[in-house]
Chains A and B, each alone.
Chain A
């Protein structure tokens, strides 16, 4: 395989950000191409670069304009033009042997009792038994496509369509951190206590976002995620051993 960043075009988002577009679809190919370009950027960092934000089909670079403008070695008048020169240079010169390894992260989930208020509804909606919903939800490997919406929230791909369920008609005002939900054909974990309209089928004792940690979000784009069914006792044991910081 010859990895090569195959982006379509580059456009400014603001005076402090440019986006690199990879197409119009959610695909593992886009995910890989974006991860690869992100890796190349990491290996040959741009002075003034503040953040790179992967999304389904874009990678956006946020930068400090004064620093980028002063990079006389990069062709271009505006910051956006200079960054285009930089990106083009990455693709041309350094696509040999770069590999993007994805991490595999197991997230324990308790699909029982108060932690699963909508499990029966999801089961009935899909003519399944609750146990079958749990099995289908916890037997696939999910892919993290992007982090967005709220700090640490992972957009996951790969859910079995047999457990797809529409959102609640009336969102809940409080959904506790760690709640695992389904909305249409998507599944995800709420990293923070927020309002929300997803069907809740379980809860994880794992903290998905901790602002005091060096890497505050547990997940990042490209990760593989597996949900592992645990009992209420195991849930409490985990919390006891790993209290929220």
Chain B
């Protein structure tokens, strides 16, 4: 299966679940900003969770089906359309050769994931297909997708992907009546859960109270490295230098003027700013859907509870996969 990019949109990159084995050499994790949606897109068409997907930012992109396609899309950045007919998200879609697929506006989120049966066929670089544009490696030629880029899927389909393909293949657009069960969670009034970071105690009580009660807005300088959060700044109890140490996607750092920076997928692996909090892993995918201007609030939970939430979410994803497989037994 093959597509050709007509309009690349704001920022379109190949991602998987990231590059975790080279952190000691300061190679960032990268990977999908919303890993939950990326995994769901793969599950819908019977792919392994870590297959490469395309991450689209906001709306405006379009591509042409150069062959018949079995695809699925998830996330909240856009609605896919063919000839002004909307294609439903979170389920397998059969799209015949020649279709022109466009990404129209969706107000729910910021990023959309497109999976294809077999996964996008690109070489592994340092164990991952994720694009890290800053150093120019991974994904498609180490860069974001451009007009006229051709992308092909791997021909190694899982038995489940083969069955889904055969169940939908025809000469027109076709999709399943079932969906993957989880509608995209919107961020309206959504609270992001955080755990206290190791330097939490460096900040004044009043600042902590502010952090846990007032809204923060996503600044438009935000990108795949991090979200700059506009809101009331944090005050330190005492000035103290932090020796550079490990950080990870989801770490909230406080920079010198007291502003908050939420580190995301392409963040550097070490940092010297105090870490006031860490986003719960179960809520980090939602942060990948934040767009400039969005407001978020924080709620404190323990590391213990965060781990429980993480395993509940993992279970949930596993069950979605099993439910889809059960339909084709």
Contacts and interface: CB of A to CB of B under 8 A. Distances in A.
Given A16-B248, A62-B248, A211-B126, A216 B243 contact: no
Interface in B292-312: 303-304, 306-307, 310-311
B246 A17 contact: yes
Interface stretch (B20-28, B86-94, B179-187): B20-28
A53 B28 CA distance: 12
**Among B28, B243, B310, B314: residue with most chain A CB under 10 A:** B243
A12 interface: yes
Interface in A140-155: 146-153, 155
A211 B28 CA distance: 12
B125 A211 contact: yes
Interface of A: 11-17, 19, 24-26, 50-58, 60, 62, 65-66, 69, 77-80, 146-153, 155, 192, 194, 209, 211-212, 215-217, 220-221
Contacts, number: 131
Contacts of B21: 50-51
B102 interface: no
A79 B307 contact: yes
A224 to B, nearest CB: 18
Interface of B: 20-28, 125-126, 134-135, 137-138, 195, 198, 243-248, 250-251, 268-271, 275, 278, 280-281, 303-304, 306-307, 310-311, 314
A155 B244 contact: yes
Nearest to B318: A66
B236 to A, nearest CB: 16
B281 A53 contact: no
Given A55-B243, A56-B243, A150-B135, A216 B24 contact: no
Contacts of A53: 23-24, 246, 269-270
Given A78-B307, A147-B26, 20 more contacts: A13-B247, A14-B250, A14-B281, A15-B281, A17-B248, A24-B243, A51-B22, A51-B23, A52-B24, A53-B246, A56-B243, A57-B243, A58-B246, A60-B245, A65-B314, A78-B303, A80-B307, A148-B271, A152-B25, A194-B134
A216 B126 contact: yes
24 contacts: A12-B195, A13-B248, A13-B251, A16-B281, A51-B20, A51-B23, A53-B246, A55-B270, A56-B243, A56-B244, A62-B20, A79-B307, A80-B307, A146-B244, A147-B25, A147-B26, A148-B244, A151-B25, A151-B26, A152-B25, A215-B25, A216-B126, A217-B22, A220-B25
B245 A12 contact: no
B313 to A, nearest CB: 10
Contact of B245 (A56, A66, A212): A56
Contacts of A17: 246, 248
A194 B21 CA distance: 23
Contact of A55 (B198, B244, B281): B244
A222 B150 CA distance: 44
Contacts of A194: 134
Contacts of A69: 311
Given A65-B311, A149-B268, A55 B26 contact: no
Nearest to A153: B26
Nearest to B247: A13
Given A19-B245, A54-B24, A65 B307 contact: yes
A220 B24 contact: yes
Residue of A65, A216, A217 ringed by the most chain B CB atoms within 10 A: A216
Contacts of B247: 13
